[in-house]
Amino acid sequence: MRINRLAVAAVLSLVTATAALAATLPRAAEFRRWTHVKSMVITDKSHGLYGFHNIYADPAALKALKAAEAYPEGAQFAVSFYEVTTDGPMLGQGKKLMDAFMRKDLNAKATGGWAFGASGPDGKPLAIDVAKACFECHANGAKATGLVFSKYLE
């Protein structure tokens, strides 16, 4: 019985872990070919979103963003974060810090209908709590625009 209980506990633990990871996205391999939406910089290293940010949209997300329409299932955004370099009068992109992703997913009910995820400079998924690290801020700050912060700048 003891072994069985342990086995059941292990399986339950695995199921729980899988469920918790269900809404996290792997790296979207082609995101650097998507359309650049805009960029921004947070120079303060103590800020939670420190870095040089470049934001990209796949074709479905770009179309909805530009038309201010609802995002269709599967629409994707990516944000690349780099260290901020200073070279004379220029602020530039240094080493990659991470890539973050959001993809419209009706099953991601706990995170507002978007799945979130992030990967490190090596492309491997980061073990983050996407509800706290991504969703909460998007839900608070971008509720009126379908949880999307960025505007497309022509």
Residues from 103 through 122 that contact a copy of itself (CB under 8 A): none
Phi first, then psi: what are they for 48, rounded to 5°?
A: -60, -25
140 binds a copy of itself (CB under 8 A): no
124 binds a copy of itself (CB under 8 A): no
Determine the Cα–Cα distance for residues 102 and 134; give it in Å rounded to an integer.
Answer: 9
Nearer to a copy of itself, 52 or 101 (CB): 52
Site string for a copy of itself, 61-90 (x = CB under 8 A): ---------------------x------xx
Amino acid at 108: A
Decide if 120 contacts 126 (C-beta within 8 A).
yes
Amino acid at 134: C
26 binds a copy of itself (CB under 8 A): no
